[in-house]
Amino acid sequence: MQSSNSNEVENYEVRKLEISDKSKGFIELLQQLTVCNSVSDQEFRDRFQELSLCGDDHVVCVIEDDHSGKIVATGSVFIEKKFIRNCSKVGHIEDVVVDSNARGLQLGKKVVTYLTDHAHSMGCYKVILDCSVDNREFYEKCGFKQKELQMAKYFI
């Protein structure tokens, strides 16, 4: 019989987004992060295919709870190709969210580590993200340091 601890590890592995994850609550999870209206199956498939064309340059990862069959954490990273630093690359982490019912299991850290490792393996010289003041401490625990200010201009 396995210990509760090893069960936890086995039940929460990070993997890439699959097209079947829409029916496992992926969109509902994103709604905990920000505005995310209902997406039709066709819209989801189209966007999934578009991102697939980018291959390893744009990865969306998820954690599925093996017991409930629900997606309980997600995040994405895309690889920007630059001319600076001898034509180097930068990883941009976006849309990290953990289900409010699955907090305290270090799933956020797992997701960020997965995305960071991916950026590193793709030859990026750094990985960056934007976060609220409230989330700064979490990302510091993930090895990030505050650098600049994020500025935004909205069209809607």
Instruction: Report residue 50 as tokens.
Output: 């578009």
Under rule CB under 8 A, which residues in 79-138 are in contact with a second copy?
80-87, 92, 94-95, 116, 119-120, 124-133, 136
Instruction: Report residue 102 as tokens.
Output: 């699955």
DSSP state of 104: T
How are strands ordered across the β-sheet holding 70-81?
14-16, 58-65, 70-81, 89-98
Report, in Å, the least distance between residue 144 CB and a second copy.
4
Nearer to a second copy by Cβ, of 66 and 80: the residue is: 80
Please pick, from the candidates 35, 55, 67, 100, the single residue that binds a second copy as defined by CB under 8 A: 35
- At 72 the three-state DSSP class reads strand
For position 144 contacting a second copy by CB under 8 A, the verdict is yes
Task: Please answer whether residues 122 and 89 qualify as being in contact, where contact means their C-beta atoms are separated by less than 8 angstroms.
Answer: yes
Positions that interact with a second copy (CB under 8 A): 26-27, 30, 33-37, 39, 43-44, 46-47, 50-51, 58, 60, 78, 80-87, 92, 94-95, 116, 119-120, 124-133, 136, 139-140, 142-156
